[in-house]
Structure 1
């Protein structure tokens, strides 16, 4: 949590870089806002700061109707931190508390429920139940304002245990009933789900902070796209990344558009989700956000890397370059061990499940489960290293979920036959979302890269991008 003086200066200047990093609560109005809220700046003695929306809500504040503080990017701190609190926040964002309760969260973290609650409350001002409740309310607001689903269905799809709990939470957080919240929605965009639809098609805006080098991200995803489960379609500057998702309650297709001028000015990516079960909305959104690295803080990355004599010119040339993560960590690891997108595509064609409802463009399958690849027959069609990693994922020897301990998981992966240091580092960078991974590049050594901590993953992407641009220039000449 930043100090109060820095926080108030950010509020006075309406600095959007701090949106999601902390929240501003005003005692005289009982409302909490994002730092960039366009409302009149409150007096300093009336302002309190909270590290999460859940903490502000637990203190009795309601969400601002003007700046919608629940729709900001997530705090980049939770992606950087590898301790208990960081791991817990990533799991809660993935919907673990909604699916498995606090007991399930604690079990995954390897701590008691009491320890998890105590540390979260001390660090972020709210326990796991309050954090999950805030996330459920955000999901409910999205469903109320972007679908025509009956309110009862919205309540359970958002993860609430009862309609009464849903109604009470919405009134407390938004100071409106669900019906009033729906009535306040803007005109529906294409893709609004009609009541009773068998599949939900939702059009969302996924916020990010600071500049976003979308062209580089879409290029990267195109190069690594696995046939059958991923594709990048469309002309340059109007491309769409599309992929299938295997989610806790069913399957989904996600489509993210390369941002146009309006989206770039507004700092969001347009996302279209086709879900077979609306209960997967929160999880699907978080997995797309991780894939596109939308919760990163480009200001912090630039401050460190931009001052480096080697990286400074590269950072200046590509502001907002991201380090793409993973929508499915197990899939990313297995594809990395397979060796190439084409080899991974062969696994998809042979062992993947057909996409429910039939092919959707070039998307035909869901990636095979770890259990399927571990027991694949005939065995000679699957590389032994792939089988070893799949077996480790299946029996829990290797964990790559959002709450996994990065050091422990990297060690378990490296111990498997056929898995080298480079592959381990790549999986750690993408599947585990580690922003501080160094991989040999042939340009710098590990000692030099030490000065780039804790953003060595971003430094790698700058070096790789510069190398590709040099190669392209040589080829063009």
Structure 2
């Protein structure tokens, strides 16, 4: 439950760190806002507090046109939580309810639809349908404001089942019609590039996104990704087709330009772009704990807001982790580039040097293992991994149980604890992973004058829970 007095103090201070953590409904105006809304702070008696935008919608409030509360960073709580609610929220953000319905969501979670609905209402104030409906409204607004897609096509691309449902939801959430919403955006005089969707991805300060770009640049696989100046560009395989994302960090937001083969993939594309840059992190909570540590304190002070680079596709990350076993980062890039050139899917419209999407697990599973450019033992590991990913024996989507996924990865011959935990950290966005046997950790801690024996390292890392993944990035940064 929300501490309403603490929430009101955050509203009085217009504290942007709480954007997305909770929302305020103003009874005197009928609108809901983010805590940092620049409008005059309402009287305490006129404010109601909500855990999600969907809960505010359900209470009859419409979105503020000034602070755009539907475009806030997501709550960092869902990345930390490994229970059913956290898994459900990550899957809903990825568009699973739009694609597979509540039945599909419940199937992935391993619970009944009734149990999923009841638990979400208790925890976040809204069931899966209302949460998905709120997300559809935001997707529709982005499409209306940044594309020339016909309104009818926009409705179905956003995930709505009917034009009437689409119109009613837009009026309810934004208090104007879809046509008026599009017309108001055009009056701002924005320039549009045909075939692109432009939007801003918010995040909480501080954020060392330059560090994320440097990490991604060092590991960029030719053909599917590149870092060009301050822009990260990559190809993606999405539920309905391929796409290319261009992400350029700005002060307080990330400029995202998406080129999608099917606009229905907008929700999934945005969620994956946010994951790759770790935009929903709570840097204040991370830095408060790690900054108080005598070992990491100076590193946190030098690079506040360190983020853990994620991935747009869990299967791809697992394959690349196997490719990188016992070889250098540069060599792993070369091998991955060969797989992309031989088995990747060419994009209809390449952008820069991004010409392909990474080959899917089903494509790689059908390849004769002996043709993979790697030692025979790793050929067998890669074939077994991709086979299990392709047939669903291993799932690495945002809603998977992290402990179960790690156990299943360890069952694959040739995959050890380092690989499984690395996948868990980057593919499953687990904020509490450490790699005590990692060579980079050994060198980093040695440079800091600390013990390097795996058992001693593991004991030291216990002080950094529940943010050991961020601690690992800080240690790697010393190399």
TM-score range, shorter chain: over 0.9
Confirm whether residue 455 of structure 1 aligns to residue 467 of structure 2. Answer: yes
Residue of structure 2 equivalent to 1:371: 362
Residue of structure 2 equivalent to 1:327: 312
Confirm whether residue 124 of structure 1 aligns to residue 124 of structure 2. Answer: yes
Mark the CA change 1:97 to 1:188 in structure 2 (over 3 Å): closer, same or farther. Answer: farther
Confirm whether residue 464 of structure 1 aligns to residue 464 of structure 2. Answer: no
Distance 1:31 1:10 in 2: 18
Residue of structure 1 equivalent to 2:65: 65
Distance 2:128 2:240 in 1: 22
Distance 2:256 2:161 in 1: 28
Pick from 382, 393, 396: which aligns with 1:397?
393
TM-score by length of 2: 0.92
Q: Could you give the per-residue CA deviations for residues 5-49 of structure 1, whole angstroms, max 9, x where no partner exists?
A: 110000011000000000011122211110001111111122111
- The aligned length equals 450
Distance 1:350 1:184 in 2: 47
Distance 1:230 1:65 in 2: 35
Residue of structure 2 equivalent to 1:197: none
Contact 2:369 2:380 in 1 (8 A): no
Confirm whether residue 304 of structure 1 aligns to residue 289 of structure 2. Answer: yes
Which aligned pairs between 1:369-448 and structure 2 lie closer than 5 A? 369-377=360-368, 379-381=370-372, 383-440=379-436, 441-442=441-442, 443=445, 445-448=457-460
TM-score by length of 1: 0.92
Shift of 1:192: 4.3
CA root-mean-square deviation: 1.3
Residue of structure 2 equivalent to 1:178: 178
Shift of 1:180: 1.6
Confirm whether residue 218 of structure 1 aligns to residue 213 of structure 2. Answer: yes
Contact 2:369 2:383 in 1 (8 A): no
Q: Could you give the per-residue CA deviations for residues 239-262 of structure 1, whole angstroms, max 9, x where no partner exists?
A: 2211100011111011112x3xxx
Contact 1:189 1:203 in 2 (8 A): no
Residue of structure 1 equivalent to 2:197: 202
Shift of 1:362: 1.5
Residue of structure 2 equivalent to 1:252: 243
The secondary structure found in structure 2 opposite 1:466 is coil
- Greater shift, 175-184 or 138-147, is seen at 175-184
The secondary structure found in structure 2 opposite 1:323 is coil
The secondary structure found in structure 2 opposite 1:320 is coil
Distance 1:255 1:221 in 2: 13
Contact 1:146 1:192 in 2 (8 A): no
Shift of 1:231: 1.0
Gaps of 5+ in 2: 325-331, 374-378, 446-451
Shift of 1:361: 2.5
The secondary structure found in structure 2 opposite 1:403 is coil
Gaps of 5+ in 1: 194-199, 468-477
